[in-house]
Structure 1
């Protein structure tokens, strides 16, 4: 089974995740969230699974948002904020066996196996 990683082609963390997965014998496909992913379909599912953990609050994009937009990140318009600013999505988002995992952390690696 090929794991789908949603991120950015130039993101070092995403590249590292794909490289480590392939080195461990797993097939991994990186889908660019700006150019290739259908975020209108994906975001509701991701948000239902992980909530605002999907927002990368340490990104440059986050720091450049207005206070009003940052306030939206805690409310019902989070989906709209992420649709308008896909680089706010914490990367990579991994779809594995029906589970949604966010970030390339020790916890994520353990769940993937």
Structure 2
């Protein structure tokens, strides 16, 4: 089963969930707003995918951070920041148990269809 992480009101997350439902792909949804994001999971994503893939630096949450908060010294600091402010995560995040995907486009659809 695929774990899908995001925010239920996010348009891209809605599209992804609708596509998964229509494709008959089983998944569990984890809403950051309701359930938060633990630092261990954030650290695993950042370690596997890199900070630039996981952290949305174009969103309003990033822009509202102070320059000191935006100065991520290392992956541990990035994981702590993302855990404290999960709205910073690019959405959705798919965890198939064997692979991680961020975003929802043709590449992600093809990969998810194979699971």
Same fold (TM over 0.5): yes
Greater share of helix: 2
Retained in 2: the 8 A contact 1:3–1:29? Answer: yes
Distance in 1 of aligned mates of 2:27 and 2:91: 14
Q: Pick 1 or 2: higher relative contact order, CA cutoff 8 A, min separation 6.
A: 2
Structure 2 counterpart SS, 1:29: strand
Question: Which blocks of at least 5 consecutive residues in structure 2 are unaligned?
Answer: none
- Report deviation, 1:41: 2.8
Distance in 2 of aligned mates of 1:101 and 1:37: 19
- The TM-score normalised by the length of structure 1 is 0.87
Q: How many residues align?
A: 111
Question: Which blocks of at least 5 consecutive residues in structure 1 are unaligned?
Answer: none
- Report deviation, 1:3: 1.6
* Per-residue deviation, residues 44-64 of structure 1 (Å, max 9, x unmatched): 211111111100112110111
> Residues 12 and 99 (structure 1 numbering): CA distance in 2 closer, same or farther, change over 3 Å?
same
Distance in 2 of aligned mates of 1:51 and 1:60: 21
Distance in 2 of aligned mates of 1:79 and 1:97: 20
1:89 matched to 2:89: yes
Q: Give the root-mean-square deviation of aligned CA atoms.
A: 1.6
Retained in 1: the 8 A contact 2:37–2:83? Answer: no
- The TM-score normalised by the length of structure 2 is 0.86
- Report deviation, 1:10: 1.2
